[in-house]
Amino acid sequence: MADEKFEATVKEALDMFRPQLQADGGDMEFVEIDDQKRVHLRLTGSCGSCPMATMTLKMGIERYLKDACPKVTEVVQVR
């Protein structure tokens, strides 16, 4: 499991990105960070059923998180 400081940094970055999802009626739920530093998220609200969710996850959230937390290797969607 990832260390607590790293997890706190990731959660802080997610909170900074969250308003962009909420503006469209969606949100995200942090699930975990695995041993390979992959961040697992569940998209909720309108994001959970949106056909563009994968693009939002990879091109939006993942790109933002990797800039804010370079140790992040990938963002993975949990259903």
* pLDDT at position 21: 92
How are beta strands 74-77 and 26-33 bridged, if at all? unpaired
What SS3 state is found at 44? strand
pTM: 0.90
Q: Which residues contact 5 (CB under 8 A, 6 or more apart)?
A: none
Q: How confident is the model at residue 26 (pLDDT cuts 50, 70, 90)?
A: very high
* pLDDT at position 79: 85
C-alpha 50, offset from chain centre? 16
Q: Are 67 and 8 within 8 A, CB to CB? A: no
* pLDDT at position 69: 94
* pLDDT at position 22: 94
Q: Are 57 and 77 within 8 A, CB to CB? A: yes
The percent of residues in the chain predicted with pLDDT above 70, rounded, is 97
Q: Are 32 and 40 within 8 A, CB to CB? A: yes
